[in-house]
Amino acid sequence: ALILADKSAYNYYTDFVEKGYYNRIIAGNINQVLQVDSVVCDFNNYPYITKTYAKEMIIRQSNVTMRSLITTCRLTNSSRSDDNPNGFIIEGLTILENKDLQTVKR
């Protein structure tokens, strides 16, 4: 998916790698489920400003944590291809909110 975005998405990825995020997910046998609630996009002005609202479930053996996830970015036009059928590139990806809503023991 990183080929569909500028360096802003790659920067998040490398930060998570450096913090050991992906290794902890694998070592802890953790599953993640992302449910997109809505995507708001202003197609009247270019580049298209987009905001995504989602819920993230982090499923561990001992508990399930529900998080609120809100991101924003700009969409710019690009050539359509097999790898990019929508013809957009994500630029300036920013995580606005990623906070715990609740944790339920299993």
**What is the pTM for the complete model shown?**
0.86
User: Which residues in the chain show pLDDT less than 70?
Assistant: none
Q: What pLDDT sits at residue 2?
A: 87
Kindly report the CATH class assigned to 2-105: alpha beta
Exposure of 68 by Cβ count < 10 A (0-12 exposed, 13-18 middle, 19+ buried)? Answer: middle
**Domain boundaries along the sequence of the chain:** 2-105
For 101, the token pair is 């809503």
Exposure of 88 by Cβ count < 10 A (0-12 exposed, 13-18 middle, 19+ buried)? Answer: buried
Q: What pLDDT sits at residue 1?
A: 82
Q: What pLDDT sits at residue 43?
A: 94
Single out the residue of 30, 54, 45 nearest to residue 76, CA to CA.
45
Q: Tell me 19's DSSP state.
A: T
